[in-house]
Structure 1
Amino acid sequence: MTHLRRGGFLAFEGGDGAGKTTQLDLLESWFQELAVPYERTREPGGTVIGERIRSLVLEHDQGEVDPRTEALLFAASRAAHVVQRIEPALQAGRFVLCDRYVDSSVAYQGVGRELGAQAVAEINAFATGGLQPDLTVVLDIDPSAARARREGRDGLSDRIESAEDAFHDRLRHAFLDRAAAAPQRYLVLDAAASAQALHAAIRERVQEMLGQELSNP
């Protein structure tokens, strides 16, 4: 599939409790100040069918969901997301700020659930038509620190957040391995840093993308 687009595609990745929502909030506020056209979305979700799939795979009362079914449901949600939300936004010249993308499936299902990183990557390459983010921000966090953050939040952890520490340790290393394999497309940051320090580092990298976009109307 050929992707003709302007705009820019930014994905945020990391373990549960890494602080993705905070960084997306800060980046969204900055885009608003600059009047940069953007669209914020999330995975799983972002579409009507995606939000329904989200409840199926994350909520505790949906019955047993085996790893292979989980991986395929996430890929199906992502396929709809790309066609219905991400591609139209990019083609319209908007930036897409996405909470999770393919790296999450490779980390959580491929490595965390031990289905195989390559197998899950191939399923998602088909689901997305090969669409990759221009930049993926990985907020790296120690699983024990992430668990402490999650326990301090209101509400119950979802089905995946509740997995054992060994699972979260595997997915942490999966994110880092993916970033190491293509460093030009990733920005890995220590999630233990302050929210403002992380935002400054992200802003510096995104500013380069904004400069390129604004110089090519």
Structure 2
Amino acid sequence: MRRGRAVAAAAERTLQFYGHGIPYIEDTGIKGRLIVIEGPDASGRSTQIGLITAKLEAAGHAVLNTGLKRSELISEGILEAKRNFAGRKTLSLFYAADFADQLENKIIPALRAGYVVLADRYIYTLLAREAVRGISRRWSHNLFSFAIVPDLVFYLDVEPEELVHRVFQKNAYLDYYESGADMGLANDMFESFMKYQAMIAKEFRRMQKRYNLVIIDGNRSIPEINADLQKRIDAFLESAHAASSKATL
């Protein structure tokens, strides 16, 4: 339990936002850490988060998992909006509301309590989706300017051919929106998927510097990817703990 106590005893830090933030919680002190795993469908995000969660909990960390479309207030509305083919900016506003609810009621309280919060996707997926659909990057960034800046952001970069292979291995189907079928890229769903995923990957590489994304080769095996991620996370947490201990002396 040594590491669990270390997280709880960490020196408080002030929330950092991408923009103006949420006014009444701007001065909130936090002790936890926010780590984001980004990547397309079938990239292995959920598998990696499960493995990382187990490892962190075994080391004594309190962990909270979160992700997109998990707000009890908004998630059903997003599904209904998609079923009714709502406009692109309408969907963006739904996702922003979903994210805001989770940020205020799940993520920030957990960070205040000293948890390690693992996010299965964050605002970056939303920014990329909107950009490739022709929505202004400035508009999207401003929409999500209330988001707090994570400590670490990993993007699992997987070739479209490998993604298709993994989808079919699971006897799953190509998702309408994750294939960009709403964009009219191709008459064939498979071809549309390949084009769309290439566009999304290009947008993530474009965002890499601005949002400090760490691009991870997601074409490797699950153990290889996990070893890479865990090594980086362990190194960060050790460094953060050392810095926090020094600050409290």
Is the structural similarity TM-score above 0.5?
A: yes
Equivalents in 2 of 1:19, 1:117: separation in Å?
A: 27
Measure, in 2, the Cα distance between the counterparts of 1:50 and 1:208.
36
Rg bigger for which structure? 2
The answer to whether 1:117 aligns with 2:137 is yes
* 2:55 corresponding residue in structure 1: 30
Identity of aligned residues (%): 21
Structure 1 position 160 matched with structure 2 position 166: no
1:193 aligned residue:
220
Q: Given that residues 49 and 77 in structure 1 are in contact (C-alpha distance below 8 angstroms), is that contact kept between their aligned partners in structure 2?
A: yes
1:16 touches 1:146 (CA, 8 Å); kept in 2?
A: yes
CA distance in structure 2 between the partners assigned to 1:37 and 1:29 by the alignment: 10
Q: Could you say what secondary structure the match of 1:77 adopts?
A: helix
Counterpart contact for 1:102–1:121, Cα < 8 Å: no
1:8 alignment partner, one of 26, 33, 38: 33
Matches within 5 A, 1:138-157: 138-157=155-174
CA distance in 2, matches of 1:162, 1:35: 40
Counterpart AA for 1:123:
L
Tell me whether 1:205 sits opposite 2:217 in the alignment: no
Q: Distance in 2 between matches of 1:209 and 1:57?
A: 39
Per-residue CA deviation, residues 59-118 of structure 1 (Å, 9 max, x unaligned), is xxx211221111111111111110011100001110100111110111112x22221222
Deviation at 1:167, TM superposition (A): 2.1
Contact 1:44 1:53 (8 Å CA) reproduced: no
Matched AA of 1:10: I
Q: CA deviation at 1:57?
A: 4.9
> Is structure 2 residue 65 aligned with structure 1 residue 40?
yes
SS at structure 2 position matched to 1:133: coil
C-alpha deviation, 1:188, in angstroms: 0.9
Instruction: Give the TM-score of the pair, scaled to structure 1.
Output: 0.87
* Distance in 1, Cα, partners of 2:66 & 2:74: 11
> Partner residue of 1:87?
108
What SS does the aligned partner of 1:48 have? Answer: coil
Aligned residues: 207
Distance (Å, rounded) in 2 between the aligned partners of 1:54 and 1:30: 33
Q: Which region of structure 1 is more displaced relative to structure 2, 185-194 or 95-104?
A: 185-194
- 1:49 aligned counterpart, secondary structure: coil
Q: Which runs of 5+ in 1 are unaligned?
A: none
Q: Counterpart of 2:210? A: 181
Q: CA deviation at 1:54?
A: 4.2
Deviations 1:111-170 (A, max 9, x none): 222212222111111xxx241111111000122321222233244444322322322221
In structure 2, list runs of 5 or more residues that go unmatched.
Answer: 1-20, 181-191
Amino acid at match of 2:34: F
The TM-score normalised by the length of structure 2 is: 0.76
Q: Residue 202 of structure 1: CA displacement?
A: 1.0
